Amino acid sequence: MKIEELDYVLVPVGMLVLLMYHVWLLYAIIRQPSITVIGLNAQTRYQWILFMMSDPLKNGVLAVQTIRNNIMASTLLATTAITLSSLIGVFASNDSETKLVYGNKSSLNSSIKRLSISLCFLVAFLCNMQSIRYYAHVSFLITTPAIKGKKDFIEYVARTLNRGSYSWSLGLRAFYLSIPLVLWIYGPIPMFVCSCFTSFLLYFLDTTTQITRDLHNKSFRDKETTTQEVDAAA
């Protein structure tokens, strides 16, 4: 294969590998959420909301502190993303090319590479800002006394919290995807290898084991049994 053809073959194939993996992940989250970390965490947050809002006067401080920690994490990622995007814009006028790896074609428009990386960090910034918005909203809702029978309101709070977590996950995912784009500067071969390795690594980070699922289900069953015993004693 000629050097001129590597960018037009390896880069689309690498992006296709990442796209196919995330399409499968989205399908798994919708159809079988228990086999993914994202789906399992969503169920856990729902149970956490039910416990926190069962007694907001007692659990309100703990709930707000937990959400505040999530806001701080989102703020850190948002600041990092917009800083990196700004630095890329500052050095965008530098037209020097780094030819370190076979296949790095200097005549290819380097502006496309910088634009791709900048868009990736901007998406991360916007997702984390949206996450902060949802978390701030939940911090007000979670301290509202949950009147018995208001299950719809509790589910609304849980959905809002999960939306904030989903936005945070998308922002973090944009950071992961920026690594192959950064390596694209050094050539299509590092970009392709990194895309395959990133998909392989994310698979182990995004999926759960049978032991994790069993512990998760057992903890919920024990909690439901304890709740029923307390209600019966009352």
pLDDT tens column, 105-127: 544 457 788 888 999 999 999 99
The rounded distance, in Å, linking the Cα atoms of 131 and 74 is 7
pLDDT for 76 equals 93
What pLDDT score does 94 carry? Answer: 59
CA gap 168, 100 in Å, rounded: 35
pTM: 0.80
pLDDT in the model for residue 55 = 78
Contact of 113 with 184, CB cutoff 8 Å: yes
65 or 210, which is more confident? 65
Question: Could you tell me the pLDDT band of residue 176, with boundaries at 50, 70 and 90?
Answer: very high
Given a cut of 90, is residue 192 above it in pLDDT? yes
Give the Cβ contact number of residue 106 at 10 Å: 10
Whether the pLDDT of residue 130 is over 60: the answer is yes
Tell me the C-alpha distance between 132 and 126, whole Å.
Answer: 10
Q: What percent of the chain has pLDDT over 90?
A: 37
Asked whether the predicted pLDDT for residue 100 surpasses 70, the reply is no
Distances (CA, A) of 17 to 23, 24, 58, 159, 194: 10, 11, 48, 31, 11
